[in-house]
Amino acid sequence: MNGLMQQRQLLISDLIEHAANNHGDREIVSNLGNGHIHRYTWSGALGRSKRVANLIHALGVATGQCVATLAWNTHRHLELYYGVSGTGAVMATVNPRLFTEQIVYILNHSGSSHVFFDVSLAKLVAEIAPQCPDIKGFIALCDADQMPDIVVPGLACYESLVTGCSEDYAWPSLDENSASSLCYTSGTTGKPKGVLYSHRSTVLHAMSTCMVDSFAISARDSVLLIVPMFHVNGWGIPYSSAMAGAKLVLPGSELSGGHVYAMLRDEACTVSCGVPTVWMSLLEYAENVDAEQRRRDIVLTRALSGGSAAPRRIIEKFEHYFGVYLCQAWGMTETSPVVTVNVPLRKHEALTLDERFDLQMLSGRPLPGTEVAIFDDEGNRLPHDGHTAGQLKVRGHWVARAYYHREDDAWDANNWFATGDLATLNADGYIRITDRSKDVIKSGGEWISSLDLESAALSHPAIDEAAVIGLRHSHWQERPLLIAVKRKGKDVTADALLDHMRNLVAKWWLPDDVVFVDSLPHTATGKLSKLPLRKQFENFRFSTDVENTRG
Ligand code: ADP
C-alpha cells in the first residue's frame, strides 16, 4: 500500500522561489572588482533568473541542452544557475584556470550551444572560440559600455539581453531526475570527466548541507562563497543559501587574503568555505592585524575547508586569531561534492583544545543519504579501527552513477564508487584521508602516507609548503622524497626538519632526502600538483640508495 502523501518533484527552481517568497529581503552581495559592489535581494535574484529563463528560450536552447559559463562568483553567475537549470537546460560551469585544450575539450564534449563569460576572460574566449565550431553565441557578463573588443560568433551583451526579457516566467514542472548541471573533474591525468547532476540530487545535497551537523546554513547566516562556482557547483552553496534564506556574499575574482578579510568584515559573514590555500592567504593577512581588532572585525562562527587536507596550523590559527572552528569536509566532483563533514559529537565536549585540534584533522563523518566504507584490493571490507587504511568507496543520493558520455570502471555491482582516495575510518565513522591511491608510497611492500608526511613537515614553523613523492629506490622499491618551500625570513636545515618530523611519524616513514625549492606547482583547483614534481625529479637518486653511492 502506498502512503497518502503528495508527490512533488524536487526542483532547483523551487529553491529560489522559496528564498524570494520567504526571505525576499535577504541580500546577495557581489564584488564586481575595482571597488564596485553590487547588491540586491533573493527577490531581485528571482526576477532576474526568470528573465534569464526567457532569454534561454529566446536563444533557442532546448531542454537537456548544455549552456556553459566561464565566470567568477557574481550575482550574474547565480542568475544563470537558476535561470538555465530552471528551464530544463543544463548549466555547464567551466573552470577558466584549466589548460586551454581542456576547456576546448569540455565545451565540445558537453555540446554547449552558448558560453556566458566574464569580461576579464575575453582573451581566453577569443582563443578558444575558433576551436569550438558548435558554439552559436558568446555572451559577455557585463553592461553595454563594458563590451570586450574581440571577434567571436554571436558576441552579445548579457545586461542588454536580460533587460530586454520579461520577468514573467512559469518554471516548467520538470521530472526531478532531469539533468540540471554538468561539472568536469580537473583531469590531472587524462581527459576531464563530466559529472551530470540532477535536480533531485542537487536539492537533496542542498538540504543535507543545511543540516545542523553539517554546514548548518541558516536564515541567520551571511555566507561568503569563496569556492568558485565553477568548482563542483560552489559546493552547492548557491542552492543551500536559497533553501535557508541566508545572505550570500560573492567575492568575484578578488581572492587575496586582504580582499577575503575585507568581505568577511564588511558583510558580517558568519560562515565561509574554501580550500586550504585560500585560508592560508587569509591567515597571512590577518597575522598583521591587531589581535583585538581581528576579533572585532571577524564575526565568523565557522570556516568550511575541503578539496585537500587542512594543515593543523590552519586549524590552530583560526581558533587563535578569530575563535573560529575550522570544519573540514570531504568530497569530490563525483559526489556533488559533500559527503563527510567534521562536526564534534556529544562525547567530544570535554576534549582539551589540543585534543579537539586532533579531531579537526579528520575529514568528518558521512551525511545521512550517503554511505562510506573502506575496502582492500580484493574488495573485502576493512575494519573501522581508525588505523587500517584502504580504498575509500562511497554511494548515496548525490553520488554519480556514471560519467557523461564515457565508460569507466569506478563503480561496482553494488553501486559503490571507488574514489581513488585511501582512508582510515574510526569507530565513530570519521574518515581520515591518508593519500590519493596514485600518490601513496610503496616502500618494501608497506604503504607510507604522503599526506601524513606533508602534515608533519608543515608543522615545522619554517615550512610554508611541502610535497612528498615516492621515487624509485633500488632496495625498497620506492622511498619518500620531501620537497619543501621555506617560509619567508625563516630557515631550517634538512636534518633539523627531519629531526622535527621524527617525533610525529614512524621512523621508517621518514623521507630519505629533503630538497628545498622556491615554489611548488598547483592544479587548476589550487591543489599541490605531484605529476610535474614526479617528472622534475624522475632522475633523482636517494643518498640512501646503494646504487647511487656505487655510481
Ligand atoms: P580534482 O582534485 O580532480 O579537481 P575534486 O575537486 O573532485 O577533483 O577533488 C576531490 C579530491 O580532493 C578527493 O578525492 C580528495 O583526494 C581531495 N579532498 C577533498 N577534500 C579533502 C579533505 N578534506 N582532506 C583531504 N583530501 C581531500
Domain final residue pick, 433, 467, 492? 433
- C-beta of 26 in contact with ligand 1 (< 6 A): no
- C-beta of 419 in contact with ligand 1 (< 6 A): yes
Query: Does residue 447 share a domain with residue 510?
Result: yes
Query: Does residue 218 share a domain with residue 125?
Result: yes
Whether 334 is a known active-site residue: answer yes
The pLDDT value given to residue 523: 87
Q: Residue 220 sits in which domain range? A: 16-254
- What are the b/e assignments for 102-131, b being 16+ CB within 10 Å? bbbbbbebbbbbbbbbbbbbbebbbebbee
Query: Does residue 494 share a domain with residue 424?
Result: no
Query: Does residue 168 share a domain with residue 46?
Result: yes
**Residue 322 within a domain:** yes
Whether 284 is a known active-site residue: answer no
> Which is the closest atom of ligand 1 to the Cα of 330?
20
Nearest to 15 by CA among 213, 193, 237: 237
Whether 442 is a known active-site residue: answer yes
Q: Measuring from atom 6 of ligand 1, which residue has the nearest CA? A: 332
Dist. CA 337 → ligand 1 center (Å) = 9
Q: Measuring from atom 5 of ligand 1, which residue has the nearest CA? A: 332
- What CATH number has the domain bearing residue 510? 3.30.300.30
Nearest to 246 by CA among 213, 274, 268: 268
Domain final residue pick, 433, 452, 481? 433
Dist. CA 436 → ligand 1 center (Å) = 9
**Residue 291 within a domain:** yes
Query: Does residue 52 share a domain with residue 199?
Result: yes
Query: Does residue 279 share a domain with residue 370?
Result: yes
Domain final residue pick, 235, 254, 273? 254
Query: Does residue 45 share a domain with residue 117?
Result: yes
User: What single letter denotes the amino acid at residue 275?
Assistant: V
**Residue 243 within a domain:** yes
Mutate to test the pocket of ligand 1, among 360, 433, 531 (most ligand atoms within 8 A of CB): 433
* 47 φ/ψ sector (left φ>0, alpha ψ -120 to 50, else beta): alpha
**Residue 112 within a domain:** yes
Q: Measuring from atom 27 of ligand 1, which residue has the nearest CA? A: 308
- C-beta of 332 in contact with ligand 1 (< 6 A): yes
- What CATH number has the domain bearing residue 214? 3.40.50.12780
Distance, in Å, from the CA atom of 313 to the CA atom of 316, rounded to the nearest integer, reads: 5
Mutate to test the pocket of ligand 1, among 93, 365, 421, 528 (most ligand atoms within 8 A of CB): 421
Write down the catalytic residue from 442, 446, 508, 547: 442
Dist. CA 407 → ligand 1 center (Å) = 22
Q: Measuring from atom 26 of ligand 1, which residue has the nearest CA? A: 308
pLDDT by residue for the chain (551 residues), tens only, comes to: 999 999 999 999 999 999 999 999 999 999 999 999 999 999 999 999 999 999 999 999 999 999 999 999 999 999 999 999 999 999 999 999 999 999 999 999 999 999 999 999 999 999 999 999 999 999 999 999 999 999 999 999 999 999 999 999 999 999 999 999 999 998 666 789 999 999 999 999 999 999 999 999 999 999 999 999 999 999 999 999 999 999 999 999 999 999 999 999 999 999 999 999 999 999 999 999 999 999 999 999 999 999 999 999 999 999 999 999 999 999 999 999 999 999 999 999 999 999 999 999 999 999 999 999 999 999 999 999 999 999 999 999 999 999 999 999 999 999 999 999 999 999 999 999 999 988 999 998 888 999 999 999 999 999 999 999 999 999 999 999 999 999 999 999 999 999 999 999 999 999 999 999 999 999 888 889 998 999 999 999 999 997 765 44
DSSP type of residue 509: G
The pLDDT value given to residue 199: 98
**Residue 259 within a domain:** no
334 neighbors 417 (Cβ within 8 angstroms): yes
Query: Does residue 537 share a domain with residue 502?
Result: yes
544 neighbors 512 (Cβ within 8 angstroms): yes
**Residue 179 within a domain:** yes
Q: Measuring from atom 2 of ligand 1, which residue has the nearest CA? A: 186
Query: Does residue 289 share a domain with residue 186?
Result: no
- C-beta of 393 in contact with ligand 1 (< 6 A): no
Domain count for the chain, please give it: 3
**Residue 455 within a domain:** yes
Q: How far apart are the first and last CA of the chain?
A: 78
Residues whose CB falls within 8 Å of the CB of residue 489, separated by 6 or more in sequence, listed in order: none
Query: Does residue 175 share a domain with residue 315?
Result: no
- C-beta of 455 in contact with ligand 1 (< 6 A): no
pTM for this structure?
0.94
Write down the catalytic residue from 27, 127, 159, 185: 185
Query: Does residue 427 share a domain with residue 465?
Result: no
**Residue 460 within a domain:** yes
- C-beta of 309 in contact with ligand 1 (< 6 A): yes
Query: Does residue 499 share a domain with residue 383?
Result: no
304 neighbors 272 (Cβ within 8 angstroms): yes
